[in-house]
């Protein structure tokens, strides 16, 4: 179905369709994301306010809006799982640590939007800690997609692994975490 995450009418229509056809939602993977900067340099002083806002609109505000719209259906699942597609570039601790693998990658809007998304994961997991729902952030790896480009080392199937793993966690699995291929990442 047509589902532009920044279009409230599409979000509402999706929620209505899922409710009508299935009555509940087991898995919500918030995958849509944009990077409007070129990767490599430090864009902090050069990015336009418009691009900064657009990046947050898709990567952060739309994720919150889509999740809020679909949460009543996730609550009706026996074991609801919410997966937020973050990035290692959203790690504040690694971004602040000289010598870390991402220290020189300073795509300001993208990195800040994923850090905000990680904060949402922590807050939503806490808000839902007494429900059967688990909420986690994912770093898929550097993956050969339009965003990742052909320079990326990981194939798409491997890049999907962490999301699938967290979408299918058993009842004893973690919530409120940040993971890549089974390993926790520091926030
Ligand atoms: N590739 C990597 O190396 C990498 C690394 C870390 C994190 N991630 C994250 O992984 C997620 C997927 O990225 P990707 O690599 O597949 O990027 P991509 O190749 O640029 O694809 C982005 C996806 O997001 C969708 N999207 C963008 N804006 C949307 C909107 N307003 N409504 C609905 N869908 C929208 C696009 O849909 P359309 O094609 O229809 O526009 C496309 O399917 C993103 O959140 C990204 O930040 C990727």
The pLDDT tens digits for 48-87 are 999 999 999 999 999 999 999 999 999 999 999 999 999 9
**Is 163 within 8 Å of 140 (Cβ atoms)?**
yes
- Determine the distance separating the centroid of ligand 1 and the alpha carbon of 35, expressed in angstroms: 8
Tell me, yes or no, whether 3 lies in a domain: no
Is residue 114 annotated as a catalytic residue, yes or no? Answer: yes
Read off φ and ψ for residue 47, nearest 5 degrees: -70, 140
- Which CATH number belongs to the domain containing residue 16 in this structure? 3.40.50.720
DSSP string, 39-51: SSSB-TTTS-HHH
CB 87 less than 6 A from any atom of ligand 1: yes
The CA-atom distances, in angstroms, between 127 and each of 105, 116, 120, 133, 134 are 32, 16, 10, 10, 11
Q: How many structural domains are present in the chain?
A: 1
**Is 14 within 8 Å of 65 (Cβ atoms)?**
no
Tell me, yes or no, whether 155 lies in a domain: yes
Tell me, yes or no, whether 1 lies in a domain: no
Q: Which domain does 125 fall in, by range?
A: 8-184
Q: What is the pLDDT of residues 116-135, one digit of tens each?
A: 999 999 999 999 999 999 99
**Is 109 within 8 Å of 56 (Cβ atoms)?**
yes
Residue from 3, 13, 34 to probe ligand 1 pocket by mutation (most atoms less than 8 Å from CB) = 34
pTM: 0.98
The pLDDT assigned to 41 comes to 87
CB 149 less than 6 A from any atom of ligand 1: no
- Determine the distance separating the centroid of ligand 1 and the alpha carbon of 147, expressed in angstroms: 7
CB 157 less than 6 A from any atom of ligand 1: no
């Amino acid at each position: 179905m047509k589902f532009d995450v920044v279009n409230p009418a599409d979000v509402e229509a999706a929620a209505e369709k899922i409710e009508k056809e299935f009555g509940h939602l087991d898995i919500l993977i918030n995958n849509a994301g944009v990077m409007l900067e070129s990767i490599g340099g430090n864009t902090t002083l050069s990015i336009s306010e418009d691009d900064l806002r657009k990046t947050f609109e898709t990567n952060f505000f739309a994720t919150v809006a889509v999740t809020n719209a679909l949460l009543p259906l996730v609550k009706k699942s026996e074991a609801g799982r919410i997966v937020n597609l973050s990035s290692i570039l959203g790690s504040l601790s690694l971004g602040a640590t000289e010598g870390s693998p991402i220290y020189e990658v300073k795509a300001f809007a993208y990195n800040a939007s994923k850090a905000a998304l990680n904060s949402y994961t922590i807050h939503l997991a806490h808000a839902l800690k007494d429900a059967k729902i688990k909420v986690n952030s994912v770093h898929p790896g550097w993956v050969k997609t339009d965003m990742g480009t052909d320079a990326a080392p990981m194939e798409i199937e491997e890049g999907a692994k962490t999301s699938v793993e967290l979408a299918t966690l058993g009842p004893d699995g973690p919530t409120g975490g940040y993971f890549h291929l089974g390993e926790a990442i520091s926030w």
